[in-house]
Structure 1
Amino acid sequence: MSDYLTLAGGLEALLAAFTISVALKTYFAKPKLPNGVQLPPGPPSLPLLGNALAVDVSEPWVTYKEWGSQYGNMFYTRLFSQDNIVINSEEVARDLLENRSHNYSDRPEIATNELLGVDYSAAFMRYNSRWRLQRKFLQQTFRRDAISDFQPMQMGKAHELLLNMLEDPLDYPKHLEGHSGSIIMSAVYSYEAARRRDPMIERISVGIEIIVKELRPEVAAIFSAFPTLLRLPSWLPGMRLKRISSLAKELATESMDNPFAYTERGLATGSISSCMVADHLLKLHESDDDPSWYKKAVKESAATAFGGHNIQCYSCWAE
């Protein structure tokens, strides 16, 4: 019995020492900056926690807007061990992220990306050859001089939206959701959606909604600071993200595979019109890249386009 108590006490001491070391490392860790470079101003932070307790995780943008009015269009916050620069101005965002994209194209590793099944997306991917190939496909399809090619399709979808509004004006949120989804599905996959409640679009939209709600920096910061949480069973209190992650990952995989398979079948039968996926698959033989790598990149970039469009629309409707 005494040996057992000694062992238990030793394990407790080891766990306590580990916890303290992590806390000290997090507290004293400072972002490594070049000489003469300073971080933007920001709200005062707590040891270990940083600004985590001050952010409303259900509506973080409200907190950031308040801080923006106090600290300016660009300010610094820390969520546990994660350092963040928050940009509160479209002008500043364009200047840094577009005009100087060669400096800011990389992204940090986010612990929840793989958990939710969105690690394939260029929106969350590190700057590497995989990301560059996806960007190439997206830029070639949606470059400014190619936008006019989509106008006839967009006009037809606008007519469908107006007809839906006339027939059932009270269901306008669903009409708008279906309208935006049908446009991007047509542009990317040449998929002709049903005028109302298309099953494929609705299924994908469910996954997008889950991801938008769960894939927040404030949540990711917790799992990044304490990655061992990802190994805990989903039935434990506070592990809601793990409980819902299996469904999110399943829907993310469906949203990538099913529309792509639809376009592939259409190409095989000659029943598909020009779209992002079809155009790039037809160029497969012209590429020096490995065919399987190239095809996977087309599939991933197409899902990125649809997901990015829907997330933007979802954010607008949420406001």
Structure 2
Amino acid sequence: MAATAFLLVVSVIALSVITLVFPDLFGNLTGPPLPPGPRPKLLAGNVHQVPRVEPWKTYADWAKKYGQIFLLRVFGQKIIVLNSHSAVADLLESRSSIYSDRPRVWMYKELIGRKLAVFSISSENPRFRIYRKLLKSGLSSRANQEYLPLLYRETKTLLRNLKEYPDQFISHARRNAAAIILEIAYGWQVNSNDDYFVSLMEESFKLHAEIVRPGRWLVDAYPILRFVPSWFPGGGFHKQAEIYRGQFARIDQIPHAWAKEQLHSGTYTPSFTSRYMLKEDGSAPSDEEEDIIKWTSSALYVGGADTTVSVLTSFFLLMALHPESQKRAQDEIQRVVGMSRLPTADDSDRLPYVRALILEILRWCPVAPLGLPHSVTRDDVYDGYRIPKGATVYANIWALSRDPEVYPNPSTFDPERFLPAPNGTLTQMDPRKFVFGFGARVCPGAQFAELSLFVSIARILGTFDVAKPVDEHGREVEPKVEFTTTVTSHPKPFECRITPRAQASEQGVFDE
């Protein structure tokens, strides 16, 4: 047994050396070349060159040297990074039929058991279309109108929390996003910032970030290592996978089991789960149908909560840094809505500057700077380069948002760039074309996200002033603009002053 395992490991190492020294030995030597990129090392490839902090910025710089499409190697994996609007549109949109798969990540998807998760599932799995259909239905324009009372209720709670504990604005934003999504998904009502279901979801985000860091698991680069027994040196990832699998199983099951219990008792709040668990003909869903419902319900939180928190946190940061933009938005709200009530979704068309400000937040600090990885299902050729089957493809969304040919002075925060022209069109590219994903993988909850963000941001602007913090001498302190290097990127912790506007307090908008 030990001898067999040893020979297997030796074979893997030998094969690794061959494929890295002669990467096209088994490929097409007479066809188009692979895209250019940084020179890789013998075994590790470009692992040593991939920055651990904000890699999207480095990739944008590399694009100036190697071109808008370049290649990285992480051990045995080929990674293609797209840095231009044209490349992204041509491949992830126009050729979506072959660029909408997800990479086969052995540790996370196979060994830990996440391959059926909505954001991980292969586009060739029959469930993929079922998931998309359910989510589009549950987050349709009609369904979004039904969610408005929930949005208004939870946003008033957010405003009261900001008034009472302004220093905890990030916690309040997280509670707000979680309360909305958990009630939509399961009918669960959040009553505090340390809610149990919220803590479960936060645990899920942390586990995911811990597991999917590029290059962490050698088995992802060399899948044959999955046959190495757990007791053999180097096989300890099997035991770790088992631990992660148990943790995720608990997180997945608890909210769904609670929602089922409420259905059986007849005391449930209508939700995405209840809508599909209670079939029109009165029959119980099959095990397969229930598993689909469980995965899609959890996807509502995974896809909606953390991203919303990222945008709201960026909003507070940018309003502190740009008081002139904040003042213009507040003046528009006061002129159009007045101070006797809070803005509603019906006010959106009459608040063009507020809408433009939200678009500029989405552009200036995209929530997923590298998006989610795509995978190509067959060999392809683009711009004279070969894109090999199975390659992982990233769209550098941050680079798209900073393209000076599309956005003049791209580093400047300027909501005016998204004010509509007299004919109602935008003169600069709408960032919603790329911040919500691409092709068959575009976010099915984009409309709901826009609606939720408008209600929250318009109401905060109408009731609060956000400013820079001050030191012990009363002098303003400039907040640092730094972001986390995670799939969903957040501003790193910062301080700001949040004070109620006098008119809002006088009109009682904080009252129950």
For the superposition of Structure 1 and Structure 2, which TM-score range results when normalised by the shorter chain? Answer: 0.7 to 0.9
Which one of the candidate residues 25, 30, 38 is aligned to 2:19? Answer: 25
Which one of the candidate residues 274, 294, 298 is aligned to 2:289? Answer: 294
Which one of the candidate residues 38, 46, 70 is aligned to 1:51? Answer: 46
Deviation at 1:66?
3.1
Deviation at 1:117?
4.5
SS at match of 1:223: helix
| Structure 2 gap segments, 5+ residues each | 311-487, 493-512
CA spacing shift, 1:235–1:12, aligned 2, 3 Å = closer
Range with greater deviation from structure 2 (229-238 or 242-251)? 229-238
SS at match of 2:78: strand
| Structure 1 gap segments, 5+ residues each | 1-7
For residue 259 of structure 2, what is the amino acid of its counterpart?
T
Name which structure has the greater RCO, CA cutoff 8 Å, separation 6+: 2
Indicate conservation of the 8 Å contact 1:26/1:48, yes or no: yes
Which one of the candidate residues 249, 252, 258 is aligned to 2:248? Answer: 252
What's the counterpart of residue 225 of structure 1?
221
CA spacing shift, 1:94–1:272, aligned 2, 3 Å = farther
CA spacing shift, 1:163–1:50, aligned 2, 3 Å = same
Deviation at 1:51?
1.3
Deviation at 1:40?
3.8
For residue 256 of structure 1, what is the amino acid of its counterpart?
D
Distance 1:261 1:90 in 2: 44
Which one of the candidate residues 164, 167, 172 is aligned to 1:170? Answer: 167
Indicate conservation of the 8 Å contact 2:107/2:241, yes or no: no
- Aligned pair 1:201/2:374, yes or no? no
SS at match of 2:180: helix
Provide Cα deviations, 1:20-45, integer angstroms capped at 9, x if missing partner.
23310343233957996654443232
Provide Cα deviations, 1:144-196, integer angstroms capped at 9, x if missing partner.
45323222211211111122222222222222222212221112112111132
Distance 1:176 1:224 in 2: 35
Q: How many residues align?
A: 308
Provide Cα deviations, 1:128-158, integer angstroms capped at 9, x if missing partner.
1122222221121123453232222112111
Range with greater deviation from structure 2 (95-104 or 164-173)? 95-104
Distance 1:246 1:318 in 2: 33
What's the counterpart of residue 490 of structure 2?
317
Indicate conservation of the 8 Å contact 2:37/2:72, yes or no: yes
CA spacing shift, 1:283–1:196, aligned 2, 3 Å = same
TM-score by length of 2: 0.52
Distance 1:189 1:234 in 2: 41
What's the counterpart of residue 358 of structure 2?
none
SS at match of 2:269: coil
Deviation at 1:12?
8.4
Range with greater deviation from structure 2 (254-263 or 52-61)? 52-61
What's the counterpart of residue 277 of structure 1?
273
For residue 180 of structure 1, what is the amino acid of its counterpart?
A
TM-score by length of 1: 0.79
Indicate conservation of the 8 Å contact 2:34/2:71, yes or no: yes
- Aligned pair 1:122/2:295, yes or no? no
Deviation at 1:115?
4.1
Q: In terms of Rg, which structure is larger?
A: 2
Range with greater deviation from structure 2 (206-215 or 56-65)? 56-65
Counterparts of residues 75-224 of structure 1 (less than 5 Å): 75-88=70-83, 93=88, 96-98=91-93, 100-113=95-108, 114-126=110-122, 127-220=124-217, 222-224=218-220
Counterparts of residues 256-267 of structure 1 (less than 5 Å): 256-267=252-263
Deviation at 1:72?
4.5
Structural RMSD (CA): 3.8
CA spacing shift, 1:186–1:108, aligned 2, 3 Å = same
Distance 2:9 2:128 in 1: 40
For residue 189 of structure 2, what is the amino acid of its counterpart?
E
Range with greater deviation from structure 2 (301-310 or 176-185)? 301-310
Provide Cα deviations, 1:230-262, integer angstroms capped at 9, x if missing partner.
8576998997x7776555433322332111122
What's the counterpart of residue 510 of structure 2?
none
What's the counterpart of residue 384 of structure 2?
none
Identity across matched positions, percent: 24
Distance 1:98 1:273 in 2: 38
